[in-house]
Structure 1
């Protein structure tokens, strides 16, 4: 059950902004995101809506992240693990640690789901492997 008092949209926006600033500076993830995100302001707004839907139940996000991620070439489990590592680091820096704890759990579920879906789209003839870090 969602706790609508868990966090504010401002706290979510700070988490998303800090996290993706870190992602953009990352040697592994930065080039991937920079190659596929044309408008960072719009992307961050969409991601804030995504996390607000997850953490606050706002239902503001209506996209299909699986489709977008499945279209990306050459992703592997090390990239998903790095994404989680940076997310954990950024969440740990947030003032609202109740929000951070919930966001960490959800980030692991999201990463696992996207990784499994990615493999099934790319290699339907192979058995998908779970992320060892999720």
Structure 2
């Protein structure tokens, strides 16, 4: 695999290339790939990627295209564990660092961590539970 020239800007095209590269890694990952494979059959990936592009475009480029409920979608899966988030974030950061100039990669990683923290809090935080048991 030849090295990728970092994208100098974040726009629709560079975001789409980044997301395609990132989700290719996700799907091939031994820890989280099976979670995604169980939730999204191969024929449904093009539609899922369109939704993912809309989500990140709305979030990062303020296009307003995404109208869904990411928390509800993740909650319905039931098979997600805290270590899945850690792996997702590690792959996200590595792909961003390879695909974008450092300041853009850092901004993407920061936003991904905020989203991950919010999802983890909703999925795993259990008031009154023993520390470390259910929390991420």
Normalising by structure 1, report the TM-score: 0.83
- Aligned match for 2:21, one of 18, 22, 44: 18
Most deviating of 109-118 and 88-97: 88-97
Match of 1:76 in 2: 81
Provide the C-alpha distance between the structure 2 equivalents of 1:69 and 1:40, rounded to a whole number of angstroms: 16
Call closer, same or farther: CA 1:42–1:79 in 2, change over 3 Å: same
Normalising by structure 2, report the TM-score: 0.82
Match of 1:34 in 2: 37
Q: Is the 8 A contact 1:70 1:118 kept in 2?
A: yes
Match of 1:61 in 2: 66
Query: Whose Rg is larger?
Result: 2
Provide the C-alpha distance between the structure 1 equivalents of 2:122 and 2:108, rounded to a whole number of angstroms: 21
**What's the C-alpha RMSD, in Å, of the aligned pairs?**
1.8
Q: Is the 8 A contact 2:35 2:79 kept in 1?
A: no
Q: Is the 8 A contact 2:12 2:57 kept in 1?
A: yes
Give unmatched runs, 5+ long, in structure 2: 1-8
Provide the C-alpha distance between the structure 2 equivalents of 1:96 and 1:40, rounded to a whole number of angstroms: 28
Q: CA deviation at 1:99?
A: 2.9
Match of 1:90 in 2: 95
Provide the C-alpha distance between the structure 2 equivalents of 1:63 and 1:124, rounded to a whole number of angstroms: 27
